[in-house]
C-alpha cells in the first residue's frame, strides 16, 4: 500500500512538472545550459523554438568603439544596426541637461588644460557654454579630437535623425534639485513625450528610487526602470512606480529574474529585467539563459552575435 501511494505521488508530481513546462515555455534557466532552443530548467530540458533574444542596449552608445556618451558613439551604434542606446544626463551650473557619465569632467575631457584653476572640475560647477569648449574625444583616440559633450537637446536630435530609441539615466539626481522636471521639459520640447516615443522609444532609469517616483508622478505614462537589485521581498513596492528592474549581471540568478517577472509594473505589464554591463560572449550567453529581457553593453555587436 505504501509503494502504491508513492507511485501515485510520483506520477502526479511528473504530471505537474509537465503542465508547468507547457504553461511557461520561457521558464527561467539555471546558470548553465545551451544557448539554442534547448533550455536547462532545474535539470529538466525543454525542446522547442528558441525564445526571443534579449534586446541589446548600446551602453553610452557603442562605447567600446567611440568616446562614450558622444554623438560619435551614437552614430557608431547606428552603423552597427542598434536601435537602443543608453546615456547619462546631468545638469550644468546654469541648468542645462548634458550627456556625460562622471560627475566630474576630468576623465573624459581636457578640462584640466582648458580650466586649470577650476579643480575638482565637477559638471555642476561649469556652464553649458564652458562645457561646450571641451574636447571629449582625444582621450579615446586622436581621430576623435574635437568631439564635444552633447547637450541633451543635441543628443535627442541626433538619435531622432537616426530613428534610434533611448534608455536615459538620470545621473546623481541628489546633486541636481529639479533635474527630473528639466529633463522632462527638454524631452517634451524635442517631441519625445508624444505617444509614439512614450509607447516604444523611451525609458527613463536611475539608481535613485526617489527620482523615478518624481518622473512617475509628473509623467505617469513614461516607462521607468530602477537600476539596482532590490531584495525580492521589496520588489512589489518598486513595481508601484517602475516598469523595469535593471541590475548588474553579477548580482542576479534565475530565481531573481523569475521573481521580477512574477510581478506587474506601474503600467500593468510584467516587470522586465535589463542587466548591465555585459561585454563578452560567454557572459551574454549566460545571462540570456537566466531569462533576462535586455542586455546593456559597450560591445553590442559581440552580445548580438552571442544571443541573436
Residue 30 CA to residue 40 CA, distance in Å, equals: 6
Cell matching residue 272? 522586465
The pairing of beta strand 165-170 with beta strand 202-206 = parallel
**Residue 255: strand, helix, or coil:** helix
What are the backbone angles phi and psi of residue 141, rounded to the nearest 5°? 175, 150
Residue 65 CA to residue 74 CA, distance in Å, equals: 10
Residue 299 CA to residue 62 CA, distance in Å, equals: 6
Catalytic residue among 2, 59, 197, 267: 59
Q: Is 267 a catalytic residue?
A: no
Nearest CA to 291 among 248, 250, 251, 260? 260
Catalytic residue among 101, 197, 216, 261: 101
Residue 249 CA to residue 13 CA, distance in Å, equals: 33
Q: Is 59 a catalytic residue?
A: yes
Please check whether residue 275 is in contact with residue 296, taking contact to mean a CB–CB distance below 8 angstroms. Answer: yes
The residues annotated with a catalytic role in the active site are 59, 101
Amino acid at each position: 500500500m505504501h509503494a502504491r501511494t508513492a507511485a501515485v505521488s510520483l506520477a502526479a508530481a511528473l504530471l505537474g512538472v509537465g503542465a508547468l513546462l507547457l504553461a511557461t515555455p520561457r521558464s527561467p534557466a539555471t546558470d548553465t545550459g545551451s544557448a539554442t532552443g534547448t533550455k536547462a530548467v532545474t535539470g529538466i530540458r525543454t525542446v522547442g523554438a528558441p525564445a526571443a533574444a534579449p534586446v541589446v542596449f548600446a551602453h553610452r552608445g557603442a562605447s567600446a568603439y567611440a568616446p562614450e556618451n558622444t554623438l560619435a558613439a551614437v552614430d557608431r551604434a547606428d552603423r552597427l544596426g542598434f536601435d537602443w542606446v543608453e546615456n547619462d544626463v546631468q545638469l550644468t551650473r546654469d541648468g542645462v541637461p548634458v550627456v556625460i557619465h562622471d560627475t566630474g569632467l576630468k576623465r573624459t575631457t581636457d578640462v584640466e588644460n582648458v580650466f586649470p584653476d577650476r579643480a575638482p572640475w565637477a559638471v555642476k560647477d561649469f556652464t553649458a557654454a564652458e562645457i561646450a569648449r571641451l574636447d571629449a574625444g582625444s582621450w579615446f583616440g586622436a581621430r576623435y579630437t574635437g568631439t564635444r559633450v552633447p547637450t541633451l537637446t543635441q543628443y535627442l536630435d541626433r538619435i531622432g535623425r537616426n530613428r534610434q530609441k533611448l534608455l536615459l539615466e538620470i545621473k546623481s539626481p541628489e546633486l541636481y534639485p529639479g533635474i527630473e522636471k528639466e529633463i522632462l521639459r527638454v524631452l517634451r520640447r524635442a517631441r519625445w513625450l508624444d505617444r509614439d516615443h512614450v509607447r516604444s522609444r523611451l525609458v527613463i532609469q536611475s539608481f535613485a528610487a526617489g527620482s523615478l517616483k518624481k518622473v512617475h508622478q509628473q509623467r505617469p505614462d513614461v516607462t521607468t526602470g530602477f537600476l539596482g537589485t532590490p531584495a525580492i521581498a521589496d520588489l512589489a513596492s518598486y513595481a508601484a512606480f517602475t516598469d523595469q528592474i535593471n541590475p548588474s549581471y553579477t548580482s542576479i540568478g534565475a530565481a531573481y529574474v523569475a521573481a521580477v517577472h512574477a510581478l506587474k509594473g506601474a503600467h500593468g505589464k510584467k516587470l522586465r529585467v535589463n542587466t548591465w554591463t555585459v561585454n563578452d560572449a560567454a557572459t551574454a550567453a549566460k545571462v540570456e539563459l537566466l531569462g533576462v529581457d535586455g542586455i546593456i553593453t559597450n560591445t553590442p555587436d559581440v552580445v548580438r552575435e552571442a544571443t541573436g
